[in-house]
Amino acid sequence: MAKKIKASVKMMLQGGAATPAPPVGSSLGQHGVSIMDFCKKFNAATSKRKGETVPVFITIYTDRTFDFILKTPPVSELIRKRANVKKGSSNPGKDVAGVINRTAIEEIAKIKMPDLNAFNMEAAKKIIEGSARSMGLDVVD
């Protein structure tokens, strides 16, 4: 028999650096989950992804146990790393924050493909290109 789900929580945490302080403590503590147990398991699972922002979906059950699923880093973070910019343009469409080439777009699309709502690689590349343009980056060949 399957466990009964009590709650689902979405968070974005730094890889390998979860602590019982907020936002982890306040999000999980209200559901009665062992915060230190989550932090130890999360840090062990993301030890090779230090410095990255890791989206995590936590499913909490009525018996106070939990499961979590790790996702790929946000597209904006991957684009910023590949284009070597600190942040996107404050006025996209008018001000250019930097440039990114299509090979970098394709690499990002390969990384993000499991989490994107795309059926093929061409659609995934268009999604990533749109995100880059909305950040104020020029997409070049």
Domain residue spans of the chain: 5-70, 75-140
Average pLDDT, the chain: 88
Instruction: Please write the tens of the pLDDT for every residue from 62-106.
Output: 988 999 999 999 998 999 888 888 887 778 878 887 889 999 999
pLDDT at 22: 83
Q: Measure the CA–CA gap between 39 and 45, rounded to whole angstroms.
A: 10
The answer for 3, left when phi > 0, alpha when psi is -120 to 50, beta otherwise, is beta
**Cα Rg of the chain, angstroms:** 18
Looking at domain 75-140, its CATH class is mainly alpha
pTM above 0.85, yes or no: no
CATH architecture of 5-70: 2-Layer Sandwich (3.30)
